[in-house]
């Protein structure tokens, strides 16, 4: 390592001291955060498997060209599949492997959306035909819904599937430029098949958007089939990031597919061209989106905890100012402003882990209900998955960026791992539903629920508190000192009252307006805030529920209680204007909340490094010189710099053509290339 000894840089492990100060049993917390002993063992085993396999190396992702990045991602996906088959990995193990490989690729869409949609919308016969192929990756599928002209407005899609009874086929067509399929992941270069959402037209009548399977590339040589135009849509935000994915474009010029390629579980077209609906809700056609949204919620904590691990470890290593009288300089993690920006994110990563566990339960529950033809809680599940997807991804993306800033200048280097993490994560605010659109869906659900409450229906699940709306809109908060805020029922009532009051205010406004759709649009910023308040309440209530349970491991429950209080009070102080404007809190009560929040920072401080260790991210997974487990930040930043291709030559390429003429003032000479 060049020059390091001469510069007097020593290895110093500040993190060992930090770890020694932890006040809880870290291993027990690891097991809790993994979801149980079995899950912990699977995660550890698979994380190590990926970390030790050179094919899954990822250090150079931000440096290489898009073409190389993409080819490499194909190699990684193929290698992963080989390991899955050779070792006979279970679905759980395979999913963990996908996560630890940490690189978006076509298999996400194949398994996550193509197969999920087939399971939800194909008849048994169709499943038999397509799933068998799909499960062994003999075909690769993508989810081709969004078009150049429409993404959010699914009912506005323009691709047509017109039934031709004379041949018993549908004719897929892209009638306009804006009907070009645009964005589907895996479509650009990898997929052989696409699940195409198109307007079903039969007997000259348009029955709206339905799903069809279309083969788009040859299974022999991967060449696009006749009259199919397909390709990649181009480079996306950031280096590395989501660029390993081939988001694609697709056009059909009167391409014929057999009638049986329409997914017919929810609706079908007969040989004679008659359209018939099943008695199941048409919204089941959106099932793959619900599945991925819950997956995205479960994944948010992983991304946020990665950024927070890097920022906490680095903040404990980094020292600035105050090194007088032989004392070491201050660790930046000890500055109150650093704690104020960082510790709420740490608490949020824990909160999202807990809500992610609950979300998985909710999805399993609704799947069982749907299998028994019980569709009663579909609207609530839609609102929960959409709303939580929206708030968790927005907060996580902003949180990653905040962590980058918390790492000062070094955070801006790709070696910190944070720029790439942000670039890979930030599209989650848009895909699977733009986050504002999704909150507006939650708002509609809240207004509907309040109307039902007014007519005597008891709301259930996460909306149950709205059944208590009379009380919540009239009660006053009784906090008179900071410590009162540590009472879970005080916290819960505050969040319920804020959410109920915001929703009721909007509902009254809309109800009194002559045109309710116009009023909804006029009020949409307030509706979005009401929806956000409702979703934050869900997270707070799930965290409180969990923190009240007994857990094995010394100090684990106490840490969760601290983080739960910190999470709730950080939300409350950040959104204090909501609590004040609805009249539930006074300014003094908000001040008490701020004081209590500061006291909680002091409880978190001695445990901060151990609390991030409990997420158990390997150095390979973090991919960060700043977030290394051993805290040996400077050595690895220094070493890393020398690996940069720019440092391969001592005198840079381009010196003779472009630098030397400037330095020698020969810009206009006969040999100058400038
Ligand atoms: C190593 C190998 C191992 C491999 C392992 C791999 C495993 C992979 C697992 C992956 C897990 C996680 C991975 C994450 C990766 C993520 C990749 C993501 C890629 C991105 C994909 C996409 O983006 S796909 C496209 C998504 N598009 C959208 O989300 C569009 C958003 N718009 C909409 O959803 C709707 O149209 C909208 C909600 C805006 C409604 O519009 P509207 O016009 O009003 O619609 P209508 O059709 O009229 O419906 C209104 C009524 O329907 C109700 N409703 C709406 N949506 C739903 C729903 N989803 N469920 C139930 N009900 C719904 C709505 O409430 C209305 O009801 P009402 O009663 O009539 O009011
Ligand atoms: C990385 C990535 C991967 C993707 N993968 C896939 C895929 O595999 N398959 C697929 O089909 N699609 C995919 N998509 C597309 C994605 O689902 C859409 O981009 C997304 O649903 C948003 O739709 P849009 O682009 O039409 O945004 P728009 O709806 O055009 O949004 C633009 C702006 O308008 C606002 N807006 C729109 N309508 C309203 C309204 N009614 N009220 C208030 N504000 C409004 C939005 O909030 C936003 O600010 C992907 C997108 C990305 C970025």
Query: DSSP characters for 466-497?
Result: GGGHHHHTT------SGGGGG-HHHHHHHHHH
Non-local CB neighbours of 596 within 8 Å, separated by 6+ positions: 482, 483, 485, 486, 565, 569
Ligand 1 and 204: CB distance under 6 A: no
Ligand 1 and 505: CB distance under 6 A: no
Residue 245 token pair: 């994915």
Ligand 1 and 300: CB distance under 6 A: no
| Model pLDDT for residues 446-492, shown as the tens digit of each residue | 999 999 999 999 999 999 999 999 999 999 999 999 999 999 999 99
Q: What is the pLDDT of residue 674?
A: 72
Report how far residue 197's alpha carbon sits from residue 213's, in angstroms, rounded to the nearest whole number: 9
Non-local CB neighbours of 66 within 8 Å, separated by 6+ positions: 235, 243
Q: What is the pLDDT of residue 12?
A: 58
pLDDT at 79 over 90: yes
Residue 634 token pair: 């400077």
Architecture, CATH, for domain 288-613? Up-down Bundle (1.20)
Contact at 8 Å (CB) between 485 and 479?
yes
Mean predicted confidence (pLDDT) in 584-590: 98
Q: What is the pLDDT of residue 615?
A: 98
Report how far residue 478's alpha carbon sits from residue 619's, in angstroms, rounded to the nearest whole number: 47
Report how far residue 385's alpha carbon sits from residue 202's, in angstroms, rounded to the nearest whole number: 34
| Model pLDDT for residues 431-446, shown as the tens digit of each residue | 999 999 999 999 999 9
Mean predicted confidence (pLDDT) in 558-574: 98
Report how far residue 124's alpha carbon sits from residue 305's, in angstroms, rounded to the nearest whole number: 41
Q: Say whether 104 sits in a helix, a strand or coil.
A: coil
Strands, E assignment, 367-438: none
Say how many Å lie between the CA of residue 438 and the centre of ligand 2: 10
Report how far residue 208's alpha carbon sits from residue 200's, in angstroms, rounded to the nearest whole number: 6
Q: At residue 503, what are phi and psi to the nearest 5 degrees?
A: -65, -40
Mean predicted confidence (pLDDT) in 523-543: 98
Bridge partner list, 258 = 169
Say how many Å lie between the CA of residue 179 and the centre of ligand 2: 15
Residue 637 token pair: 């930043």
Q: Say whether 591 sits in a helix, a strand or coil.
A: helix
Mean predicted confidence (pLDDT) in 380-398: 97
Residue 432 designated active-site: yes
Report how far residue 132's alpha carbon sits from residue 308's, in angstroms, rounded to the nearest whole number: 41
Non-local CB neighbours of 521 within 8 Å, separated by 6+ positions: none
Mean predicted confidence (pLDDT) in 520-541: 98
Q: What is the pLDDT of residue 10?
A: 47
Residue ranges around ligand 2 (CB below 6 Å):
109, 143-146, 150-152, 183-185, 242, 247, 427, 430-431, 433-434, 436-437
Nearest to 450 by CA among 438, 468, 434, 428: 468
Report how far residue 9's alpha carbon sits from residue 29's, in angstroms, rounded to the nearest whole number: 35
Assign 53 a pLDDT band (cuts: 50, 70, 90): very high
Question: HEC profile for 259-304?
Answer: HHHECCCCEEECCCCCEEECCCCHHHHHHHHHHHHHHHHHHHHHHH
pLDDT at 362 over 50: yes
Q: So what's the ipTM on this one?
A: 0.97
Assign 5 a pLDDT band (cuts: 50, 70, 90): very low
Mean predicted confidence (pLDDT) in 323-336: 89
| Model pLDDT for residues 461-470, shown as the tens digit of each residue | 999 999 999 9
Mean predicted confidence (pLDDT) in 568-587: 98
| Model pLDDT for residues 151-209, shown as the tens digit of each residue | 999 999 999 999 999 999 999 999 999 999 999 999 999 999 999 999 999 999 999 99
Global pTM reads 0.96
Looking at ligand 2, which atom is closest to the CA of residue 436? 47
Mean predicted confidence (pLDDT) in 232-252: 96
Specify the residue with its C-alpha closest to ligand 1, atom 64. 441
Mean predicted confidence (pLDDT) in 397-410: 98
Ligand 1 and 425: CB distance under 6 A: no
Given the residues 158, 401, 432, 561, select the one marked as catalytic: 432
Residue 146 CA neighbour count, 13 Å, CB half: 19
Say how many Å lie between the CA of residue 280 and the centre of ligand 1: 17
Query: Average per-residue pLDDT in the chain?
Result: 95
Bridge partner list, 172 = 161, 255
Say how many Å lie between the CA of residue 430 and the centre of ligand 2: 6
Say how many Å lie between the CA of residue 154 and the centre of ligand 1: 9
Specify the residue with its C-alpha closest to ligand 2, atom 47. 436
Q: What is the pLDDT of residue 6?
A: 40
Say how many Å lie between the CA of residue 47 and the centre of ligand 1: 30
Assign 672 a pLDDT band (cuts: 50, 70, 90): low
Mean predicted confidence (pLDDT) in 286-315: 96
Q: What is the pLDDT of residue 7?
A: 36
| Model pLDDT for residues 101-128, shown as the tens digit of each residue | 999 999 999 999 999 999 999 999 999 9
3-state percent breakdown (helix, strand, coil) of the chain, nearest 5 = 60, 10, 30
Say how many Å lie between the CA of residue 463 and the centre of ligand 2: 27
The bound ligand whose nearest atom lies closest to the alpha carbon of 363 is 1
Ligand 1 and 298: CB distance under 6 A: no
Q: What is the pLDDT of residue 324?
A: 78
The bound ligand whose nearest atom lies closest to the alpha carbon of 153 is 1
Domain positions in the chain are 113-279, 288-613
Looking at residue 203, what DSSP letter applies?
T
- Residue position matching structure tokens 């007519």: 455
Mean predicted confidence (pLDDT) in 37-55: 98
Ligand 1 and 303: CB distance under 6 A: no
Note the maximum CA span of the chain.
Answer: 93
Looking at residue 335, what DSSP letter applies?
S
Mean predicted confidence (pLDDT) in 366-370: 92
Q: What is the pLDDT of residue 323?
A: 74
Which fold, 113-279? Butyryl-CoA Dehydrogenase, subunit A; domain 2 (2.40.110)
What are the Cα distances from residue 438, in Å, to 356, 433, 500, 535? 18, 6, 19, 11
Residues in the chain: 674
Nearest to 462 by CA among 389, 547, 537: 537
Looking at ligand 2, which atom is closest to the CA of residue 150? 26
Looking at ligand 1, which atom is closest to the CA of residue 146? 25
Ligand 1 and 283: CB distance under 6 A: yes
């Amino acid at each position: 390592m060049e020059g390091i000894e001469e510069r007097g840089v020593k290895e110093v492990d500040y993190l060992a001291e930090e770890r020694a100060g932890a006040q809880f049993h870290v291993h027990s917390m690891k097991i809790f955060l993994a979801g149980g002993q079995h899950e912990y063992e699977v995660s550890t085993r698979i994380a190590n498997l990926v970390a030790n396999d050179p094919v899954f190396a990822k250090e150079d992702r931000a440096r290489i060209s898009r073409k190389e990045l993409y080819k490499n991602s194909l190699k990684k996906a193929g290698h992963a599949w080989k390991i899955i088959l050779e070792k006979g990995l279970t679905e759980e193990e395979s999913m963990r492997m996908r996560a630890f490989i940490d690189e978006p690729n076509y298999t996400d869409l194949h398994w996550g959306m193509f197969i999920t949609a087939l399971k939800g919308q194909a008849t048994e016969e169709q499943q038999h035909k397509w799933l068998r192929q799909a499960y062994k990756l003999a075909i690769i599928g993508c989810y081709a819904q969004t078009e150049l002209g429409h993404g959010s407005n699914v009912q506005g899609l323009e691709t047509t599937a017109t039934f031709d009874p004379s041949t018993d086929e549908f004719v897929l067509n892209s009638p306009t430029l804006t009907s070009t399929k645009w964005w589907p992941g895996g479509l650009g270069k990898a997929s052989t098949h696409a699940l195409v959402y198109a307007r079903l037209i039969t007997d000259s009548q348009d029955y709206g958007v339905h799903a069809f399977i279309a083969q788009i590339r040859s299974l022999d040589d991967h060449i696009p089939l006749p009259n199919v135009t397909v390709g990649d849509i181009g480079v996306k935000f950031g280096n590395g990031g989501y660029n390993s994915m081939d988001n694609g474009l697709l056009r059909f010029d009167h391409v014929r597919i057999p009638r049986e390629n329409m997914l017919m579980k929810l609706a079908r077209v007969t040989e004679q061209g008659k359209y018939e609906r099943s008695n199941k809700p048409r919204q089941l056609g959106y099932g793959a989106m619900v599945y991925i949204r819950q997956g995205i919620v479960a994944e948010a904590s992983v991304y946020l905890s990665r950024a927070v691990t890097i920022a906490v470890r680095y903040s404990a290593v980094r020292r600035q100012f105050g090194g007088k009288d032989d004392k070491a300089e201050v660790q930046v993690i000890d500055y109150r402003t650093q704690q104020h920006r960082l510790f709420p994110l740490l608490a949020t990563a824990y909160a999202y882990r807990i809500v992610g566990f609950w979300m998985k339960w909710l999805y399993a529950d609704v799947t069982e209900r749907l299998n028994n033809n019980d569709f009663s809680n579909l609207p609530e599940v839609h609102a929960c998955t959409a709303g939580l997807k929206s708030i968790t991804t927005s907060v996580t993306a902003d949180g990653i960026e905040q962590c980058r800033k918390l790492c000062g200048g070094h955070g801006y280097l790709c070696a910190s791992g944070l720029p790439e993490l942000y670039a890979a994560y930030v599209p989650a605010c848009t895909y699977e539903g733009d986050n504002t659109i999704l909150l507006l869906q939650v708002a509609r659900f809240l207004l509907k629920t309040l109307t039902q409450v007014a007519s005597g229906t008891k709301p259930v699940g996460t909306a149950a508190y709205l059944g208590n709306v009379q009380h919540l809109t009239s009660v006053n908060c009784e906090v008179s000192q900071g410590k009162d805020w540590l009472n879970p029922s005080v916290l819960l009532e505050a969040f319920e009252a804020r959410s109920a009051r915001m929703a009721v205010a909007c509902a009254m406004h809309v109800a009194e307006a002559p045109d309710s759709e116009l009023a909804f649009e006029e009020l949409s910023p307030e509706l979005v805030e009401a929806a956000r308040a409702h979703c934050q309440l869900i997270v707070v209530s799930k965290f409180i529920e969990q923190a009240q349970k007994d857990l094995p491991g010394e100090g684990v429950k106490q840490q969760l209680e601290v983080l739960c209080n910190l999470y709730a009070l950080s939300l409350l102080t950040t959104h204090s204007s909501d609590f004040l404007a609805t009249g539930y809190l006074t300014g003094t009560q908000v001040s008490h909340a701020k004081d209590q929040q500061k006291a909680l920072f002091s409880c978190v401080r001695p445990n901060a490094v151990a609390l991030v260790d409990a997420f158990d991210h390997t150095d390979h997974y973090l991919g960060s010189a700043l977030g290394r487990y051993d805290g040996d930040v400077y050595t690895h930043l220094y070493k890393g710099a020398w690996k940069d291709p720019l440092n391969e030559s001592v005198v840079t390429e381009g010196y003779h053509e472009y630098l030397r003429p400037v330095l020698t003032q020969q810009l206009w000479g006969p040999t100058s290339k400038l």
